Each structure stands twice: as structure tokens, then as C-alpha cells.
Amino acid sequence: MRPTRTAFNAGGMFPALCVSLLAAAPASVAAQATPAKPTPLEASMDKLAKHPTVAAAFSALQSDNAWTLDQQASICQIPAPPFKEQARAAEYAKRFRELGVQNVRIDKEGNVIGEIRGAKPGPTLMLAGHLDTVFPEGTDVRVKREGTKLIAPGIGDDCRGLAVVLSVARQVITQKIPFSGKLLVVGNVGEEGPGNLRGMRAIFGGPMRDSIDMFISVDGTGFGVTNGGVGSNRYRVHYKGPGGHSYGAFGMPNPMHAMGRAIAKIADLEATTTPKVTFNVGIVSGGTSVNSIPFEAIMEVDLRSETAAALAEIDARLQKALRDAVTEEKARWPKSNAALTLVVDTMGLRPAGTTPDTTFIVRTSLAGARTMNVYAPLTISSTDANIPMNLRIPAVTLDGGGVGRGAHSLDESYDDRTDGYKGPQWVLLVVMGLLGAK
Ligand SMILES: [Zn+2]
């Protein structure tokens, strides 16, 4: 059966922003203004694009664009619901091995990790796409093609990223681009909401952490550079009591009324715009009938901010509001001995982080876009890069080119149009620029 979007919500899943629609930072507009003379970094990126091996890679990515699209479509037809990415991971690892990627392994969490070693010692850059989708088991993931358009759940988010990583790895290896250091290529698990960034938490919480100097996630379509990671705290909140008959047992604290008090307080929280802070009660449920005092009321709350400090502050005010609601509802019925309890379950915590736009990785990403003659805005979103950003490891999320529509919906589409190949070209140029190819 084809599940509906309502069914996803009923299953307790919630849509998470991958590469999102948040506002572009104005700084990027200035960065894109036509400069009179290229900066030294821009000039070096222009030169890198003309290096014979890079030029050969560019040409192959364009002429063999069908290969990239075939990877994107075929990987997308292997279902990868949250926590069930194994089949797609096994296939992705197989494709890395076939390309000649070295030391390909699947870690305990389920991430596929392989290595491409440079000619000389240098920094280590991780380039990742995420394997998981938001779609549950049983979703029809067959890919339909209409001209340059591919239509299937997950085709852009993030089968595009997975295909770009494969295409970049293929060209770096076959063209023998001379770079320094190590390129780690990754298909990671757990990017979407339910996964709560578990793939990246495993990588950056384990022994690899100290060896990764830079991180790029390819997620989303178009040419954006995400250098701000929106943090989010998500909770499922329960108010519980004995419940009873609405007439016969009247006079005891009502969990639903307590939750109503809490929601009124949440609705009145102050939210700043700089840094941006948001709060939302997204789902409420509970109760058994109109003439029963409910024994339980449940709500799901999402808090987000661009900075860790602002997120912690709104979180503290939320927790106080939740507790105060219990106190007030109990005070309303001072003669009742009935219990009223509050249970807060954590659904997901995503740390906030920022890679400043003065860093080498951001400037190289923008300089690469300039060389490619594409417009790349700086954006803020919630992606795998949140984890390294929070650890102050230089990290960005780059879009994979093309035009995407309807991420997280069953009619998601990816349109390659006439120049989708520029996505992998850009990513390759940025990666090689960061790894010192000259
Ligand atoms: Zn994504």
C-alpha cells in the first residue's frame, strides 16, 4: 500500500529539514557581485579548473552525465527507511569498490566509508551523502523518467548527493588528479529526523574524529553553500493522571487542561529574530472520550535556533513552562490528592553550529562557484554538517546541482535540465581546491 503523508505522522515520524528553504545570508550577495579582479583564491580556482586532469574530469562529467543519473536512479530504487539503510549501504559499498576506492568498510552504525589517497601527505577531507530517506518500508520507490526529470521519493534528497559523491570519486580516481592528503568518501546513515544524525554522531564521536580536517555533505539541489547549522531540540511531552468520569470524578487535576496551560505559555514565549529562534507545538493527542477526564495528554514540541546559546535559553524557558503548568493545574484543585505528572521524552537533539564565511572551506566553495559561473548563496539549515560544525571542524553542505522539488514528499522530483553535470563539477573543483590540487 502506498502510505500517505498522514500515515507518516501517525507513525510518529516528522519531516526534518535537510537542505532547507531558509533565507540566504545577505553576505553571499556581496560575495557574488562581479569583482573587478579575482582574489588570489579565485584566481587559483580558475587555474585549477584548467589543470589537464581537472579539465578532463569536467569533460567526462558532462559527456558521461548519463552515468551519474543512472547511479542516482538505481540507488534510489533500493529502499532506505530510517534505521533500515543496510541494503542501500551494501550496494553503495559495492559501487565504491568497483570504482577502485580503497579500504571500503561499513562501520558499526552502518556508515559506508572508503578512502582515496593523494600523492602527497596533507589534510583529510570527508565527502558524504546520506543513505537514509524519510519514507517508511513499503513506499513505492520506483523511479519514473520524464525527459530530464526523475521522479521518486528520495530522488533529490539524497540520491542526488550519493550520485555526486560517486561521480566525484570516479573522476578523481580515473583522471589521477594530483592532490595532497586523503579524501574519505562516505554514504552515511541517519540524517533525517528519526535518525537524529546518528551516522555523523558515530563518525565524529569515534576515533576518526581527530583525523578529519574538513567535512562536506552533498545534500540538496541547486548550488547553495550551507555554512550555518540550525540546532533543534524535539520533545514528546506527556501529562498523566488517574483520569475518571467527567461528572463523577470532577474536581481533580486534568492532564489535558495542564497541557493547555503549557501550550498557552509556549505560545507566549518570546522569540528573537537575531539569532533566529523558533518554537512549535506540532502534534497534540490524548484522551478517550468527551465525558472522561483524560489519563494522558501528549504533545510534540520543536525548538530551533541558529546558535547553541539561544537554543539552550529557549529550552530552559520551555522546561519551566511545562513544570509551571503542572503547578498551576494542581493549585486549581487544592483539595484533590490525585497525581498529575509530567514526563518529557527527547525525540531528537541536533546541535547548532556555524562555519564562519571567512573560513577557507566557505571561501573555496564560493570561489569554485564563481569559477563555474553559477550563483551560490550562503544558507542556514539542519544537515549532517551540524555535527562537525558544532565541534568547530570546518564543514559545509553543498547542493548537488539540478533542480529539486517536493523533498520529503511522495512526488519528489529531480530535474537535470541542460546543466545538471555542473553540480558534480563544482563539488569536484571545491574538493580538489581544498586538498591542494594545483
Ligand atoms: Zn537530505
216-268 residue pLDDT tens: 999 999 999 999 999 999 999 999 999 999 999 999 999 999 999 999 999 99
Distance 310 CA to ligand 1 centre (A): 25
For residue 129, list its beta bridge partners: 187
- Top-confidence residue, 342 or 21: 342
What DSSP character marks residue 332?
H
Distance 262 CA to ligand 1 centre (A): 33
Distance 132 CA to ligand 1 centre (A): 8
pLDDT tens across 161-171, in order?
999 999 999 99
In whole angstroms, give the CA distance from residue 220 to residue 223. Answer: 9
Distance 407 CA to ligand 1 centre (A): 8
Joined together, the cell numbers standing for residue 7 give 500515515
pLDDT tens across 63-87, in order?
999 999 999 999 999 999 999 999 9
Confidence grade of residue 209 (pLDDT, cut at 50, 70, 90)? very high
Q: Cβ distance 85 to 158 under 8 Å? A: no
Distance 380 CA to ligand 1 centre (A): 14
Confidence grade of residue 438 (pLDDT, cut at 50, 70, 90)? confident
Distance 20 CA to ligand 1 centre (A): 9
- In 135-252, at which residue ranges do the beta strands (DSSP E only) sit? 144-146, 149-151, 180-188, 214-218, 225-229, 231-240, 244-245
What global pTM score does this model have? 0.85
Could you tell me where the DSSP H helices lie in 100-232?
159-174, 198-205
Question: Phi then psi for 237, rounded to 5 degrees?
Answer: -110, 130
Q: What is the pLDDT of residue 33?
A: 57
- Give the mean model confidence (pLDDT) for residues 143-166: 98
Distance 16 CA to ligand 1 centre (A): 9
Distance 21 CA to ligand 1 centre (A): 12
For residue 237, list its beta bridge partners: 299, 344
Q: Tell me the torsion sign for CA atoms 169, 173, 177, 181.
A: positive
Q: What is the pLDDT of residue 283?
A: 94
Q: Which residue has the cell 553503495?
A: 92
Percent pLDDT > 70 in the chain is 92
Domains and CATH numbers, the chain: 5-230+352-434 (3.40.630.10), 231-350 (3.30.70.360)
Distance 76 CA to ligand 1 centre (A): 13
Q: What is the pLDDT of residue 187?
A: 98
